[in-house]
C-alpha cells in the first residue's frame, strides 16, 4: 500500500521540477536527490507489498519508510503551497522572478532544502540489509506456513458432515444438473463470490455426492490459492486422479519435469470422463498453464472453478461454460445457519428466548456472509448470558484476537493483499464513507482523482482510468453494486460491513484515514484523512490537522470548519448547514476536490479563482445564482456541477441553472458543465470546448437554434446533453443538428417540440431519453423504437394524444415513466415488445382508467408504480377480486400513491 504514496510523490516532484528553474532556485538539487531516493524506496515498498512482512523488525522497518515518505510528502506539498501563494492575484512571472530574492522567500527555500537534505540523511541511516532496500530483505512468507494454512482451510469443507450444511440445497441441485446433463462437450462451471461466501462448501458438498461421482471415471480436487508451484499442482492432480480409481501413482512422479507431467496427465485423461475441481483460483495465468493438460475430448468431462474474481470466472477453457454467482444469505437463511452453530445442543437447534435479541443483532452484523455467521455461531456456542453481552458489546472483526474470528479476518484479508498497489488506497478510501452508505460512482472516482491515486495512462482520461479501478474492485468482489445504469455500469456501490471494518483497521494502522463518529472530543488525529460521521457543536482544531489531505463531512449539523488544514486536496461538505465560507478555504492551493452541494450558500466569492489546482467543484443544490468572474482562472477544472432542483417534477421548470461569466469558455480541461443559463455569446464560447462530455444549458430561445446546434455538433465526445428553453411557451428548435455527437448516451429535452427531430433515429448509443413538456402531436415511438441501447424512457407532458401504443421494438428498455399526460386515456403494449421491461411508473395521468393493455406480456416486470391516477384505475387492480388484478398478479412490487 505504501508504494502508492511514493508513486504519487514522484509524480508530484516531477511536476515541481517542471516549474521554471528560477522558481526552484535553492531547492532544485535537493528535490532531484529526493526523487532518486524515492524511486529506490518505491522498489522496496512494492516488493514488501507483494511478499508481506513476517516479523516485528521488518514491520517496523516498513513503517519507518512509510513515515518518512509521508514526511517528504508534507515538505513537497508545503513548497507547492508556497509557490502557489505567490501566484494568486494575477502577479506576473516577471514579478515572481524578483520575489524569489526577497528575504522571506529565500528563507523558505533554505528551510525546504535543509529539510530535504535532513530526511535524505535519515533514509540513509536505515539499517542496511542486503545493500539497502534489497529485494531479498523481506522474506516471502506466502509459500510457507501461510500458504499451507490457506490450503488446509480450503480443503476442510470436503470433510464436513451433511447435517452441518444448510441453505445450499437449491444451489447444489443447480450445480449437479450441470454436472450430469449429458452434454458430451467439456463443461466448465465457475463459482464466483466474495471471500467467505460459501463457494468451497457448496462445491465440496456437490463433489462428495455419490450420484455425481457415478457419472465420472475419475476425479480430482486441487486448492490453488495465491501462491503455487505449477509442477507441484500437476503432481497433485495426477495423484488425485490415480487414487480416485485406487491405482498406484507413477513410480517416478516426484522426479518428472513439467513436460513429462503434462504428458502423463494428458495420456491418463485421454479416454476418460473426469471431474476436476480447481479451488481458489486468483488469476488466469494458472488456467493458461493447465489448459493444455485438460483438453476437451468430448466425452462429457466437467471442470469446476471457485474464485473471487469475475475475469477468472469468465475465462474460456473450451466447451460450454456456466457461471454461478454466490449471493449473500437472506435474513432467514442467515438465522438458520447461526442457530445451527450456536445452539446445536438445544432441542431442534432453537435459540433461547432470553438470547434472541442479542443473537438477531449479532447475525445482522455479519450481513449475510456465511463464513462470518458460522464463525460467530461457533464462538457463541455454550456461552452464558454475561458472555453473550460482553461479546455483543465488544465485537470488532478487525481487532479481535479470538481464534474463531481471526480466521474470518485472515480469509478476507487475502482479497485485500491480492490487490495491485494502485487499488489498495482506492479500496481503503471507501471505508471512510458511513456504514451501509451507497457510494455514487462519479463521486468516488472524482475523490480518487483529487487524492492523486489515479495514474495517467496514455490514450485514456483520468476518469476512464478511475472507472477501470472501480470495475476491478467490483470484479474482485471487494465492492458490491447496488444500482446499475442502462449499460450495466455501476452507478451506486457499497462495502460489506466486515470488509469495511477490516479496511478501517488497516487505515488507522497505516495512518491512512480515520472516522470520527461522535465519541469523546477529538484532540489528536494521526491519520491523513478524516471522515466526520456524527458531530454536535463546533469542530475545534486538533493536533495533526496540518497533515490532513482529505476532510469528509457526512453530518448535517457541522456548522464550522477547523482551521490549519493548508495541505487539503479533498474537502467534502455536502449538505452541511454552512451559509458562508471562511477566507482560509480559498488559500487551500493544493485543493483538487470541493463539494459544497446542498449547503446554504447564496454566493461564491471571486476568490474561488485562487484554487488553481481544483479539478471538481460541485455547488449543486445551493442558492447560488451566478458564478464569479474568478471561475475563469481555474485552468485545471474538469467538472463544474451547478444546478438545483425545485422539487416539483410535475412543473415545467423543475431545475434551475446558474449565470456564468463569459470567461468560462477559457476552461479548456472542463469535461462536465451542468448547467448554465444560456446567452448567445456564451454558447459561442463553447465551440472550442470539444473535450466536454456532459453539458446542460438552460433558458435557450428559438433564436439560439443555429448557434446551439453548431456548438453541440462540434462536441464529438459528448455523452450527456440537457437543453431547456426559457419558458413553457418557447419552442425548442434543434432541427439544425444534422449530425449529433456519436457517443450521446443521455438526452434531456425540456420545452415544446413542433416535430420529432429527424436525428433521433441516429442515436445508436442512447440509453436514457427524457422529453419534458414537449407536447408533441406526432407519435414519437416509431422514431425511437429501434434504438439498440435505449434503457430508460421518461415522457412528461411529452404527447398530447389520447393513446400511446408500443407496437414494436424497444429491445433494451427496462424503465418507462409516463407523467403529466392529462389527455391520455389508453396505453397499449403489443406482445413481444419491451421484453426486458422491469419498472413502469405512471404519474398524473388522470384520464387513464385501466392498466396498460398487454402489461401481462411483460414477464420480467418487477415494479408498477401509480401516482395521482384515477380512483377507477386504482380499484381495478386492488385486491384479488378486482378486474385487472390477473393482469398484474405476476408483478412483485405494486405501489399506489
pTM: 0.82
Q: Is pLDDT of 163 > 80?
A: no
Cis amide prior to 683 (ω within 30 degrees): no
- Residues 6 or more apart in contact with residue 405 via CB below 8 angstroms: 375, 376, 379, 397
pLDDT score, position 103: 47
Q: Chain-wide mean pLDDT for the chain? A: 84
**pLDDT, tens digit (0-9, with 9 covering 90-100), for 496-518:** 888 898 899 889 888 899 998 87
Tell me how far CA of residue 295 lies from CA of 220, 266, 270, 279, 301, in angstroms. 16, 8, 9, 19, 10
CA-nearest of 696, 682, 569 to 640 is 696
pLDDT classification of 882: cutoffs 50, 70, 90: confident
Report the share of the chain in percent with pLDDT over 70. 83
Rg of the chain taking only CA atoms, in angstroms: 31
Q: Is pLDDT of 446 > 80?
A: yes
H helices of 622-661, where? none
Type and span of the H or E element at 468: helix 462-475
The answer to whether residues 44 and 65 touch, using CB atoms and an 8 Å cutoff, is: yes
pLDDT score, position 539: 67
Q: Is pLDDT of 102 > 60?
A: no
Tell me how far CA of residue 614 lies from CA of 128, 344, 646, in angstroms. 41, 59, 28
50-60 average pLDDT score: 63
188-209 average pLDDT score: 91
pLDDT score, position 129: 44
pLDDT score, position 584: 87
The answer to whether residues 618 and 596 touch, using CB atoms and an 8 Å cutoff, is: yes
C-alpha cell at 360: 438477531
- Mean pLDDT is lowest, of 357-371, 579-593, 630-644, for 357-371
Across 171-185, 223-237, 473-487, 650-664, which has the greatest mean pLDDT? 171-185
Q: Is pLDDT of 399 > 50?
A: no
CA-nearest of 35, 49, 70 to 135 is 49
Three-class DSSP category at 352 = coil
Taking the C-alpha atoms of residue 7 and residue 872, their distance in angstroms, rounded to an integer, is 66
**pLDDT, tens digit (0-9, with 9 covering 90-100), for 605-660:** 999 999 999 999 999 999 999 999 999 999 999 999 998 888 777 788 888 889 99
CA-nearest of 46, 38, 36 to 70 is 38
Taking the C-alpha atoms of residue 641 and residue 724, their distance in angstroms, rounded to an integer, is 16
Structure-model confidence comparison of residues 893 and 128, the more confident one: 893
The answer to whether residues 700 and 674 touch, using CB atoms and an 8 Å cutoff, is: no
Looking only at the bridges linking them, the beta strands covering 480-484 and 490-494 are antiparallel
| Burial (Cβ within 10 Å: 0-12, 13-18, ≥19) of residue 93 | exposed
Structure-model confidence comparison of residues 299 and 556, the more confident one: 299
pLDDT classification of 680: cutoffs 50, 70, 90: confident
Three-class DSSP category at 276 = strand
Structure-model confidence comparison of residues 286 and 563, the more confident one: 286
H helices of 180-306, where? 199-207, 210-213, 230-244, 258-269, 284-290
Amino acid at each position: 500500500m505504501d508504494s502508492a504514496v511514493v508513486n504519487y510523490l514522484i509524480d508530484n516532484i516531477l511536476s515541481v521540477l517542471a516549474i521554471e528553474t528560477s522558481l526552484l532556485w535553492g531547492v532544485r538539487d535537493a528535490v532531484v536527490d529526493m526523487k532518486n531516493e524515492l524511486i529506490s524506496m518505491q522498489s522496496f515498498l512494492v516488493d514488501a507489498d507483494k511478499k508481506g512482512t513476517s516479523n516485528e523488525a521488518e514491520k517496523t522497518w516498513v513503517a519507518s519508510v512509510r513515515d518518512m515518505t509521508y514526511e517528504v510528502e508534507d515538505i513537497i506539498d508545503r513548497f507547492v503551497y508556497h509557490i502557489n501563494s505567490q501566484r494568486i492575484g494575477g502577479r506576473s512571472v516577471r514579478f515572481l522572478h524578483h520575489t524569489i530574492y526577497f528575504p522571506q522567500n529565500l528563507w523558505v527555500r533554505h528551510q525546504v532544502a535543509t529539510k530535504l537534505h535532513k530526511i535524505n540523511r535519515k533514509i540513509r541511516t536505515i539499517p542496511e540489509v542486503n545493500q539497502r532496500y534489497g529485494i531479498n530483505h523481506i522474506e516471502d512468507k506466502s509459500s510457507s506456513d501461510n500458504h499451507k494454512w490457506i490450503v488446509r482451510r480450503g480443503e476442510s469443507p470436503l470433510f464436513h458432515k451433511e447435517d452441518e450444511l444448510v441453505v445450499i440445497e437449491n444451489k447444489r441441485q443447480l450445480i449437479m444438473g450441470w454436472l450430469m446433463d449429458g452434454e458430451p462437450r467439456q463443461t466448465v462451471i465457475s463459482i464466483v463470490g466474495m471471500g467467505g461466501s460459501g463457494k468451497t462448501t457448496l462445491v465440496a458438498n456437490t463433489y462428495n455426492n455419490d450420484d455425481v461421482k457415478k457419472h465420472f471415471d475419475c476425479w480430482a480436487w486441487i486448492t490453488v490459492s495465491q501462491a503455487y508451484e505449477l509442477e507441484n499442482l500437476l503432481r497433485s492432480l495426477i495423484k488425485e486422479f490415480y487414487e480416485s480409481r485406487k491405482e498406484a501413482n507413477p513410480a517416478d512422479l516426484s522426479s518428472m519435469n513439467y513436460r513429462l507431467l503434462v504428458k502423463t496427465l494428458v495420456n491418463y485423461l485421454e479416454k476418460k470422463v473426469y471431474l476436476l475441481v480447481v479451488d481458489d483460483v486468483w488469476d488466469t495465468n494458472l488456467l493458461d498453464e493447465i489448459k493444455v493438460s485438460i483438453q476437451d475430448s468430448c466425452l462429457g468431462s466437467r471442470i469446476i472453478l471457485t474464485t473471487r474474481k469475475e475475469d477468472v470466472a469468465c475465462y474460456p477453457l473450451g466447451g460450454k461454460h456456466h457461471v454461478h454467482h454466490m449471493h449473500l444469505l437472506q435474513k432467514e437463511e442467515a438465522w438458520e445457519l447461526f442457530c445451527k452453530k450456536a445452539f446445536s445442543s438445544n432441542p431442534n437447534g432453537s435459540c433461547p428466548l432470553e438470547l434472541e435479541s442479542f443473537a438477531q443483532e449479532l447475525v445482522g452484523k455479519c450481513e449475510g456472509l456465511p463464513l462470518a455467521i458460522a464463525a460467530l455461531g461457533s464462538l457463541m456456542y455454550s456461552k452464558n448470558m454475561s458472555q453473550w453481552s460482553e461479546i455483543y458489546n465488544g465485537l470488532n472483526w478487525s481487532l479481535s484476537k479470538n481464534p474463531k474470528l481471526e480466521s474470518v479476518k485472515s480469509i478476507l484479508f487475502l482479497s485485500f493483499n491480492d490487490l495491485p498497489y494502485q487499488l489498495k488506497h482506492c479500496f481503503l478510501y471507501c471505508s471512510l464513507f458511513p456504514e451501509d452508505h451507497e457510494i455514487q460512482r462519479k463521486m468516488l472516482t472524482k475523490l480518487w482523482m483529487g487524492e492523486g491515486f489515479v495514474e495517467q495512462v496514455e490514450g485514456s482520461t483520468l476518469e476512464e482510468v478511475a472507472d477501470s479501478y472501480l470495475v476491478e474492485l467490483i470484479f474482485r468482489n471487494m465492492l458490491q453494486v447496488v444500482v446499475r445504469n442502462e449499460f450495466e455500469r455501476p452507478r451506486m456501490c457499497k462495502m460489506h460491513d466486515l470488509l469495511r471494518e477490516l479496511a478501517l483497521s488497516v487505515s488507522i494502522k497505516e495512518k491512512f484515514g480515520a472516522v470520527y463518529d461522535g465519541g469523546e472530543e477529538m484532540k489528536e488525529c494521526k491519520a491523513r484523512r478524516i471522515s466526520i460521521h456524527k458531530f454536535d457543536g463546533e469542530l475545534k482544531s486538533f493536533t495533526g490537522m496540518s497533515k490532513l489531505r482529505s476532510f469528509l463531512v457526512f453530518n448535517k449539523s457541522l456548522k464550522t470548519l477547523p482551521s490549519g488544514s493548508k495541505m487539503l486536496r479533498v474537502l467534502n461538505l455536502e449538505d452541511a448547514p454552512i451559509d458562508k465560507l471562511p477566507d482560509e478555504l480559498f488559500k487551500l492551493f493544493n485543493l483538487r476536490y470541493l463539494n459544497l452541494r446542498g449547503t446554504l450558500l447564496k454566493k461564491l466569492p471571486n476568490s474561488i479563482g485562487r484554487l488553481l489546482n481544483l479539478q471538481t467543484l460541485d455547488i449543486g443544490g445551493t442558492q447560488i445564482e451566478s458564478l464569479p468572474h474568478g471561475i475563469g482562472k481555474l485552468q485545471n477544472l474538469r467538472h463544474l456541477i451547478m444546478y438545483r432542483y425545485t422539487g416539483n417534477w410535475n412543473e415545467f421548470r423543475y431545475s434551475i441553472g446558474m449565470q456564468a461569466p463569459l470567461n468560462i469558455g477559457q476552461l479548456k480541461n472542463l469535461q462536465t458543465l451542468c448547467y448554465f443559463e444560456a446567452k448567445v455569446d456564451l454558447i459561442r464560447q463553447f465551440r472550442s470546448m470539444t473535450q466536454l462530455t456532459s453539458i446542460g444549458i438552460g433558458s435557450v430561445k428559438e433564436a439560439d437554434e443555429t448557434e446551439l446546434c453548431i456548438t453541440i455538433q462540434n462536441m464529438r465526445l459528448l455523452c450527456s446533453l440537457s437543453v431547456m428553453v426559457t419558458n413553457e411557451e418557447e419552442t425548442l428548435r434543434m432541427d439544425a443538428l444534422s449530425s449529433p455527437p456519436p457517443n450521446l448516451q443521455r438526452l434531456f429535452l425540456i420545452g415544446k417540440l413542433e416535430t420529432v427531430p429527424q436525428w433521433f433515429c441516429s442515436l445508436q448509443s442512447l440509453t436514457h431519453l427524457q422529453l419534458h413538456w414537449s407536447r408533441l402531436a406526432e407519435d414519437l415511438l416509431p422514431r425511437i423504437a429501434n434504438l439498440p441501447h435505449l434503457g430508460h424512457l421518461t415522457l412528461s407532458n411529452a404527447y398530447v394524444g389520447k393513446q400511446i401504443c408500443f407496437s414494436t421494438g424497444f429491445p433494451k428498455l427496462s424503465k418507462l415513466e409516463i407523467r403529466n399526460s392529462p389527455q391520455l386515456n389508453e396505453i397499449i403494449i403489443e406482445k413481444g415488445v419491451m421484453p426486458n421491461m422491469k419498472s413502469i411508473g405512471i404519474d398524473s395521468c388522470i384520464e387513464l382508467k385501466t392498466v396498460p393493455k398487454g402489461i401481462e406480456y411483460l414477464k420480467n416486470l418487477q415494479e408498477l408504480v401509480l401516482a395521482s391516477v384515477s380512483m377507477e384505475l386504482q380499484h381495478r387492480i386492488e385486491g384479488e377480486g378486482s378486474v385487472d388484478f390477473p393482469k398484474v398478479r405476476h408483478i412483485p412490487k405494486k405501489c399506489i400513491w
